[in-house]
Structure 1
Amino acid sequence: MSNDERDLLKLVAQAGRPVWMSAYFPVLNPAEPGMDENHPGHEAWTERQMAWYGISISLWKRGLVRVVAPADGSRGDLVEATGEGRAALAAADA
């Protein structure tokens, strides 16, 4: 498991309730103060934010998270860590 996958999965597991994984993207990759579309780091930051979607899909494809409530147009999928996801975290921390 990559460091990014572990970090995102850890936040999902710690939530203790179904969550939107995308809510954690700014936590894991915060914007610099004054970040706007004219900021010199904006493009790299945006690309990194988009990469988190791929990381979240990887967690789902590997069965480390499961969708509890599918997206409904007003919010994204709500997910929770699976038993396999919790076991993978425990193994990564061992």
Structure 2
Amino acid sequence: MPLSDDEHALLLRVSKAERPVAMSDFIHDIHPPDFPVEAAEDDHRREAWVHKQFGLYRAVVRLHELGLVRVVHPANGERPDLVEATQEGRTTLG
């Protein structure tokens, strides 16, 4: 099944993890900010980055929907869900 670049990047990182991980931990790793901290809220670079972040959160949901990752430890109020790649997820990566 074809994956978007964001889906592939997330699934690859999850599958390489040695233990269950929070997918949100990879959000800034995949699309790091490319603007200075003091950039205005309406700076076009900041706005573009926010759209990329939303794309990554859509990828998180889609990986769950496709059954390519599974929750090993549900969120508990102190940390998010911890997930691992399913066998189907590993097979999808090749």
Regarding TM over 0.5, the answer is yes
Q: 2:79 aligns with which of 72, 75, 78?
A: 75
> Is 2:10 aligned against 1:8?
yes
TM-score by length of 2: 0.87
Q: 1:51 aligns with which of 49, 55, 72?
A: 55
Q: CA offset at residue 61 of structure 1?
A: 0.6
Are the aligned partners of 1:68 and 1:79 in contact in 2 as well (CA < 8 Å)?
Answer: yes
Instruction: Report the aligned-residue RMSD.
Output: 1.5
Distance, in Å, in 1 between the alignment partners of 2:69 and 2:37 is: 31
Distance, in Å, in 2 between the alignment partners of 1:80 and 1:88 is: 14
Are the aligned partners of 2:6 and 2:55 in contact in 1 as well (CA < 8 Å)?
Answer: no
TM-score by length of 1: 0.87
> Is 2:29 aligned against 1:21?
no
> 4+ runs of 1 displaced by more than 2 Å?
none
Distance, in Å, in 2 between the alignment partners of 1:36 and 1:47 is: 19
**Structure 1: runs of 5 or more not aligned:** none
Percent identical among aligned pairs is 43
**Structure 2: runs of 5 or more not aligned:** none
